[in-house]
Structure 1
Amino acid sequence: MDLIHHRPPVAPRSGGPAVTDPVFLSPPDIGELEESYLLRAIRGGRFDPDGPELGAFERELAARVEVGYALGLSSGTAALHLALLAVGAGPGTVVVVPTLTFAATANAVTYTGAEPVFLDCEASTGNLDVDLLSDLLGRLADAGRRVAAVLTVDINGRCADYDRLLPLCAAAGVPVVEDAAQALGSTYRGRCAGTFGRVGIYSFSHNKIMTTTGGGMVVSDDPALIARARHLATQAREPVPHYEHRDVGYNYRLSTLLAALGRAQLTRLDTMIARRRALRERYERLFATVPGTRILGTGDPGSNCWLTSVVVDPERTGWQASRLAEHLAGHGVECRPMWKPMHRQPVYADRQAALTGAADLLFATSLSLPSGSALTDDQVERVFAGITEFLAERR
């Protein structure tokens, strides 16, 4: 659900010609296999949602993450919207949302008419702070607020602390909706990301671990929940010969051609994760030699390593993360800070929030580095050469 804004070529710091081969943060990894799947789907002549490609993609992904049911949709945001509606989010309710996330997470809550209440993150992982959650749920209950869901976000592919979080929510009678947009292929205690809540979602945006260029998926073991989401995703059309509608529905189904692309990507998922993990490990080795820096969420063997983010303590390093970003931009290398917290976004600045300052600090001191499986060896060497040059100039 994150959008990477591809910048135009930039001039190097030396004032030379513009860089014509920019290195993007997480470019799509698409090749001949995907082309063959698309061609097969085109030649099959079925482009409606009931065609074979979308149903096959749903079954194959459900089998991959070991969940009962999956529903292919037009975006991860659409998936979040329907997942929240399915658990009862709506006017008069609140949904607890991590403040360190992309805007789509909070926006989907707002679409339902519910009120997002923001919660800070753990400094070590960027994931929802479970200690704060316990106190927040108690205060909301005391205030007579009905909490429709706790919405988790698995940051950079690392799962939240579900061992502590799930019993807490169960005791409060609050369902968990898992935003695993960044975490397809990740695991926690051997269980697949996206399967910990009553319902989970994935994103197949162009920069995700696997892509359909745009798309998403709702997954759940609850067949009634998936059936309701499927009904709403197809304009809530009733099963009669004519067009009849008892509910307001949405045009949210995934294109059959994009489903074909997703099927090809799914066969390559493990290889793409391995490539990202190799990059993460190389970043870890490099920054392990730089006092005052750390890789966010390191030490998790279950992460899909979607993005690698370095956190910089400027009092120890003598330089800020933004300076490294400027240096890399001069080499045509795209990078960006972690999410600007939702409680700092003008559109949500007046919303209730439980804060420690951890998300604010990560936003101010972090930098997400090129992490995509499609990066060529030459591009990877450019990134590391740029970082090494920057560090050498400050020793």
Structure 2
Amino acid sequence: MTNSKIWLSSPHMGGTEQKYVQEAFDTNWVAPLGPNVTGFEQDLERYIGESTHVAALSSGTAAIHLGLVLLGVKAGDEVICQSFTFSASANPIVYLGATPVFVDSESETWNICPVALEEAILDRIAKGKKPKAIIAVHLYGMPCKIDEVLKIANQYEIPVLEDSAEALGSTFKRKHCGTFGSIGILSFNGNKIITTSGGGALVAKSKEIKEKAVFLATQARDQAPHYQHSEIGYNYRLSNISAGIGRGQMEVLDKHIVLRRSMHTFYQELFQNIEEINVFKEPNSNFYSNHWLSCILFKNETTETRRERLRVTLENEQIESRPLWKPMHLQPVFKDHPYYGNNTAKSLFTRGLCLPSGSNLTNEDKERISKVINNFFK
């Protein structure tokens, strides 16, 4: 008998999603507007607090794109972006004809390094190209050193776009990720801690910014009885059907976070006596990660082959795992772009592995994972 697949991070329904979706069908609200969209936005605003205003969009990538537009990024500008991230953090910079300037990570949170960030800013200014924005990411749910990042950003008067696609529910000093920067973004892709099947959100500090985001996300249609457009717009609004799924998911978000963090504890216990592995964890009590994905790091710098052997061993047992994000400055499409820092991101990519972290993993799944990993390290 073949074992069922254990996925890295699969969708986990809570049970009430169908109620909201059925209401949308019953009332014929199947467009990119309606009660579920409004309700989902309000649910998110209440959850993350800080008097935020949320615009529900079709994806986290769309939210980054609109965020950059709202920050005034245009063709020919430069935008600093954390290199160690998924490509969706960087691609919208190129959509606008701007240039990504990549910055290395620091080893504690794996996120943008404040030292390399300031080095990049100073060098770009010296070259006559002051960056228009900074994209800082909370990777795998781990908050970045946001206070240090903001101190530098404020010193040089550069706005921060906070990529919290993986960090809904994570906090720094008890304040939610996505609420620190000039603009925050969230993702509800199928593999995230909650999902709308596909979707995202832009987090704004004012009602005016949210309304501008919604205006741009609905093709920038002017107030007129006919279709009139004075600006370029986009088709980026979340549908009422997808928002219905989101409303149901919000009801189980805190439960999902507890379960993800429990998986992280499971891995800490599993690897506590395996000398060659470190489990990625919060640097101190100021950081609270939702542990969207639990990750491990081989301590030895020359273990890429061994990491790959572990990944293949798990794969052969129908257990999905994945190397850490390949840094953007090492991607073929971005190989000629500026990069500042050392080799921290490259080293993390070489030595790290993401392990199954879903909130719907069973005790049987954990037993299978434990057995394969223990046998491998014996």
- Say yes or no: TM over 0.5: yes
Q: Is the 8 A contact 2:303 2:351 kept in 1?
A: no
Which among 331, 334, 338 is matched to residue 348 of structure 1?
Answer: 334
Q: Which residue of 2 aligns with 1:140?
A: 124
Residues 112-170 of structure 1 show CA distances to partners (whole Å, capped at 9, x for unaligned) of: 22110000001232100011111111111111113111100101101110121111100
Q: Please, which runs of 5 or more residues in structure 2 have no aligned partner?
A: none
Which among 325, 331, 348 is matched to residue 317 of structure 2?
Answer: 331
Letter in 2 for 1:23: I
Q: Is the 8 A contact 2:33 2:238 kept in 1?
A: no
Letter in 2 for 1:34: E
Whether 1:358 aligns to 2:341 is no
Q: Which residue of 1 aligns with 2:71?
A: 87
Q: 1:290 to 1:322 in 2, by over 3 A?
A: same
Aligned-pair CA distance for 1:292: 2.3
Q: Please, which runs of 5 or more residues in structure 1 have no aligned partner?
A: 1-16
Q: Is the 8 A contact 1:314 1:320 kept in 2?
A: no
Q: Which residue of 2 aligns with 1:372?
A: 358
Q: Which residue of 2 aligns with 1:10?
A: none
Measured in 2, the distance between the counterparts of 1:155 and 1:375 equals 22
SS for the counterpart of 2:322 is: coil
Q: Which residue of 2 aligns with 1:131?
A: 115
Residues 166-200 of structure 1 show CA distances to partners (whole Å, capped at 9, x for unaligned) of: 11100100000000000001000010010110000
Calculate the aligned-residue CA RMSD, in Å.
1.6
Measured in 1, the distance between the counterparts of 2:276 and 2:105 equals 20
Q: Which residue of 1 aligns with 2:60?
A: 76
Q: Is the 8 A contact 2:278 2:298 kept in 1?
A: yes
TM-score (norm 2): 0.96
Measured in 2, the distance between the counterparts of 1:243 and 1:376 equals 53
Whether 1:303 aligns to 2:286 is no
Number of residue pairs matched by the alignment: 375
Q: Is the 8 A contact 2:33 2:239 kept in 1?
A: no
More deviation in 29-38 or 52-61?
Answer: 29-38
Measured in 1, the distance between the counterparts of 2:305 and 2:323 equals 15
Q: Which residue of 2 aligns with 1:274?
A: 258
Residues 51-107 of structure 1 show CA distances to partners (whole Å, capped at 9, x for unaligned) of: 111011111101110142100000000000000110011112111001101111110
Measured in 1, the distance between the counterparts of 2:304 and 2:20 equals 51
Q: Which residue of 1 aligns with 2:160?
A: 176
Aligned-pair CA distance for 1:262: 0.3
Q: Which residue of 2 aligns with 1:24?
A: 7
Aligned-pair CA distance for 1:45: 1.9
Aligned-pair CA distance for 1:332: 0.3
Q: Which residue of 2 aligns with 1:391?
A: 377
Which among 192, 214, 223 is matched to residue 198 of structure 2?
Answer: 214
Whether 1:160 aligns to 2:160 is no
Whether 1:64 aligns to 2:47 is yes
SS for the counterpart of 1:133 is: helix
More deviation in 345-354 or 225-234?
Answer: 225-234
Aligned-pair CA distance for 1:315: 6.6
Identity across the alignment (%): 38
Which among 285, 299, 320 is matched to residue 269 of structure 2?
Answer: 285
- Structure 1 runs (4+) greater than 4 angstroms displaced: 315-319
Aligned-pair CA distance for 1:347: 0.6
Measured in 2, the distance between the counterparts of 1:337 and 1:238 equals 46
Aligned-pair CA distance for 1:299: 4.7
Letter in 1 for 2:12: D
Q: Is the 8 A contact 2:323 2:354 kept in 1?
A: yes
Letter in 2 for 1:310: I
Whether 1:189 aligns to 2:173 is yes
More deviation in 375-384 or 178-187?
Answer: 375-384
Measured in 1, the distance between the counterparts of 2:302 and 2:114 equals 29
Measured in 2, the distance between the counterparts of 1:89 and 1:222 equals 19
SS for the counterpart of 1:195 is: coil
Aligned-pair CA distance for 1:317: 8.2
More deviation in 354-363 or 197-206?
Answer: 354-363
Whether 1:320 aligns to 2:303 is no
SS for the counterpart of 2:255 is: helix
Measured in 2, the distance between the counterparts of 1:91 and 1:113 equals 4
Q: Is the 8 A contact 1:54 1:255 kept in 2?
A: yes
Whether 1:109 aligns to 2:93 is yes
Measured in 1, the distance between the counterparts of 2:371 and 2:226 equals 63
Measured in 1, the distance between the counterparts of 2:304 and 2:133 equals 42
Which among 105, 108, 118 is matched to residue 121 of structure 1?
Answer: 105
Measured in 1, the distance between the counterparts of 2:323 and 2:202 equals 28
SS for the counterpart of 2:184 is: strand
Measured in 1, the distance between the counterparts of 2:283 and 2:264 equals 11
